[in-house]
Structure 1
């Protein structure tokens, strides 16, 4: 996997990082100190300083808040060892190697989601009410990350992801405990939030490597009347505007230069009543998930930019397929809007880096979700520390180059590229069906379902890759015995393209490993010629079937396309064997 990652990195477009000068809002643009426009491209470091249950396969544990996850861990191994686990988690989840790799991909910015409790105490734990305790370990972690981003010429954007008390009814986002006063139900929580931003601004006022202050992530709260709409129907948003105004004033007491970013209610999308905003060095962040990637989907925020002469930033997006990533980024960059996708890594496949947990993790998840027996304290501790000290580290993550390619190359260059070196020597070759080319649907492959648009369609969330493994395209991929990969649910009309590099060319018999209860015809097309048909009989188990006639490969590059013309089933391998 590491060799494959290095080979693919060489094929990716590298985008230059912006120079390290202060960013500011200049009317509808984000510019540097020379007045040159800066298009931010980056990732959010979700899961590091704030855990959400779904990133750990724990969405069913309560509502997925971090405090519930921590309590479940402490219940198994004790509070002292739980603290040891969280210390190791913070030490290992994101390190300089992660930031260096983002820079090599061509990204120029990092969004850091902060949990306030790493920087200050909750209001109920302050020794003196109304007086803030600052936790230096949390600030030192920001300092370290800033050093890593500056070493790569990247901007660091500070994002208050979990504010004191919690800013919304989507509980895991802000680690909110509904049994305690929220941000909006406590004047003291709001005071602490304002004080925290003043302290952050005081510490980083002279740091051009800090790109902006994203002052409150995804507020989602009904102010005027309860309704469970997460603030999506609010028309005034007066408490939110007042808080933003107070935070901006506190920042400007100590920092006149850094750009401020504000987000609308309704998960960063409802700006009614928030504009105009008095501080002119302010940008608007909108968030975009699971909707169509057409002009209509961003028409509202484009109108805000035009009306109020404020820059736009797609501050959070992701959790979808490569098709969706490519189309969303292409859409916003067409309108000179930068972006930060979410997240860099998690336990899951649709992000650049995937945490592959040790086998004991599945047992812990089964216990916590009432699907398995309770592990011993020693077993749980060993599993948790293996996760925090080993599994989450950069060098042990699974790199998904197809995701990075979809974000950084494909919006500008949709041509197909090799996913893996597929060389064919005189002795032939064995090609994994899952090693089809990199590129968009319709270019490198075609699949019936290629993205999740449920917000726009109102339909159930779609699974574009039914196996949820290996690659993030529409092609369905599954793992068999011994971790072997194969294309599953391959149905009529779908196809995959492979770039083969043949040494000297030659004639090769083609053998395909397939599995289908119903059978049907497959087609093989070489270099755009007439397709050859392979009739697959329906029978249980894997079959090895050979085309009737050999194929003649040219010296150098060849394009082979495997398609279903009526076949429904699975494909594992294509073998090219020297023809006699």
Structure 2
């Protein structure tokens, strides 16, 4: 395979004022994507319901431990290869954000010994990216106890226990020390994204943890940049005050105009809609502006309609492409670094997605359609009307039991009472039950069949989302000033 070498070779990067720069002081704008669903799996990305550790356990219960491990190993092999890196680099982008789950490194029953496989998995991606001059930001997406209340922290519950137990916080600092010792002086690994979308109800524990983590990591690796997410899902910096040295501050800029919200007018580029996008962005970056530090938009991007089931899919998707283009225009004005969510999935959001005619999609698509009808996945749900007759009366009954002023008390406060109930009942409890149904689809599969299912995720078995990739490629070609 011929290597794509349009990107300059990776070199050590650092923070200078509000810019990321190389050794010559030239501004570097990181433009990339995330390998979500890979070393940190998510239900809407690959099709199961519930949480990753439940999914892995359910598959082991029907396949046996050995065959389940075989399937997951082959899945990881095919999910990201040199073909993926070559395609990504060909678009002119230069950075891969690599989310990972702490479980690849820490066995909860033997937490004092790190698993070698975790480093092997990271090394494989870093080595591939080095061949195509792609920087890597390592992103701890799931921490012990869960650093937020959502499914992607893989806690299996709707509480962020990471903040309640010092032992969890210390575990993660020690893990980052080990990772930093492994990658220090490696120019491909340009940053450590210490915690994805933390959500500390008290706010202060997060800031104190960042300060402790920075000191511990700097004793091991004094040079690699740190990427610091804001609180409440990387959207709230209101309690932040001081800035850490050589740190890039990260916000996430999802726009509701890019999601299928009932009654919402599609994006059409009106002055009001453009102003809304700009105001949302500026609110999230006010801290970075005040402190004159670099901005990294660690996640953003709309979702897309499926033309197999939605006759309006082309119209909807073109509107969302236009919205994405406007977001990129906003980021370009200040040369903001960004990482779109995400690279590969089964068809909802990815730059590339698994072909519906592959063995994996043919096996799981009926279940995914059922998940849609039952509204089990928050991120992958288009329409909740199918379960309104069940949950509507239920939630109204619950509201009568709780005084109205208390319904707004539970953190995160951006979620209303109904959203909290959905999290617990549908997306946690019911999703765990249906996870066993999903696992049943794999029952009796031979290793040869499992190999073919995993191979469905290979680049050659994926469809490129051309409209999205064209926009990203054009943005990747925008000029960057040589000095900050």
Cα deviation 1:36-58 (Å, max 9, x = unaligned): 00011111000111111111233
Q: Is 2:59–2:442's contact at 8 Å kept on the other side of the alignment? A: no
Aligned to 1:377, what secondary structure does the other structure show? coil
Residue-pair matches, total = 374
**CA 1:348–1:255 in structure 2 vs 1: closer, same or farther (change >3 Å)?**
same
| CA deviations over 1:286-328 (Å, ceiling 9, x no partner) | 1011245532122224432231121001111123332222121
Q: TM-score, structure 2 length as denominator?
A: 0.72
Residues 132/314 of structure 1: CA separation in 2 closer, same or farther (3 Å cut): same
1:361 equivalent to 2:364? Answer: yes
1:304–1:372 CA distance, 2 compared to 1 (3 A): closer
Matches of 2:239 and 2:5, distance apart in 1: 37
Q: Secondary structure at the match of 1:340?
A: strand
The structure-2 alpha-carbon separation of the partners of 1:115 and 1:375, relative to structure 1 and needing over 3 Å to count, comes to: closer
What are the Cα deviations for residues 526-562 of structure 1, in whole angstroms up to 9, with x where unaligned?
A: xxxxxxxxxxxxxxxxxxxxxxxxxxxxxxxxxxxxx
Q: Is the 8 A contact 1:314 1:337 kept in 2?
A: yes
For the residue of structure 2 that corresponds to 1:133, the secondary structure is: strand
Distance (whole Å) between structure 2 residues aligned to residue 96 and residue 412 of structure 1: 22
Question: Which residue of 2 is the match for residue 518 of structure 1?
Answer: none
2:122 corresponding residue in structure 1: 142
Contact 1:18 1:38 (8 Å CA) reproduced = no
Q: CA deviation at 1:65?
A: 1.0
Structure 2 contact 160–199 (Cα < 8 Å) conserved? no
Aligned to 2:113: 133
Matches of residues 141-540 of structure 1 in structure 2 within 5 Å?
141-170=121-150, 172-178=151-157, 182-223=161-202, 237-277=203-243, 279-291=244-256, 294-320=277-303, 321-356=320-355, 357-358=358-359, 359-362=362-365, 368=434, 375=441, 377-379=443-445, 384-388=450-454, 390-409=455-474
Using the alignment, how far apart are the partners of 1:376 and 1:310 within structure 2? 49
- Structure 1 contact 314–340 (Cα < 8 Å) conserved: yes
Measured against aligned partners, the alpha-carbon deviations of 1:357-384 in whole angstroms (never above 9, x if no partner) come to 4222235655947999965722597765
Unaligned runs of 5+ in 2: 257-272, 304-319, 372-433, 479-484
Instruction: Classify the secondary structure of the residue corresponding to 1:274.
Output: coil
Distance 1:372 1:288, change over 3 A: closer
Q: What's the secondary structure of 1:183's corresponding residue?
A: helix
Identify the match of residue 26 of structure 1 among 11, 16, 29.
16
Q: Which has the larger radius of gyration?
A: 1
| Inter-partner Cα distance in structure 2 for 1:146 and 1:371 | 35
Aligned to 1:53: 43
State the SS of the aligned residue for 2:444: helix
Q: Compute the displacement of 1:82 (Å).
A: 1.6
Q: Distance in 2 between matches of 1:405 and 1:254?
A: 41
Report the Cα offset of residue 71 of structure 1. Answer: 2.6
Is 1:78–2:143 an aligned residue pair?
no
- Specify the SS of the correspondent of 1:211: strand
The CA deviation string for residues 242-266 of structure 1, in whole angstroms up to 9 with x for no partner, is 1111111111001111111100111
Change (3 A) 1:383 1:271: farther
CA distance in 1, matches of 2:245, 2:107: 32
Change beyond 3 A, Cα 1:191–1:77? same
Deviation by residue 1:409-452 (Cα, 9 ceiling, x = unmatched): 16989xxxxxxxxxxxxxxxxxxxxxxxxxxxxxxxxxxxxxxx
Change (3 A) 1:373 1:117: closer
Contiguous gaps of at least 5 residues in structure 1? 1-13, 224-236, 414-580
Q: Give SS of 1:195's match.
A: helix
- The answer to whether the Cα contact below 8 Å between 1:169 and 1:221 also exists between their aligned partners in 2 is no
1:452-493, CA deviations, whole angstroms, 9 ceiling, x for partnerless residues?
Answer: xxxxxxxxxxxxxxxxxxxxxxxxxxxxxxxxxxxxxxxxxx
CA RMSD of aligned residues (A): 2.7
Whose strand proportion is higher, 1 or 2?
A: 1
Alignment partner for residue 106 of structure 1, among 92, 97, 103?
92
Partners of 1:246 and 1:255 lie apart in 2 by 14
User: SS at the partner of 2:106?
Assistant: coil
1:226 match: none
Cα distance in 2 between the residues matched to 1:373 and 1:314: 35
Q: 1:165 to 1:381 in 2, by over 3 A?
A: farther
Match of 2:383 in 1: none
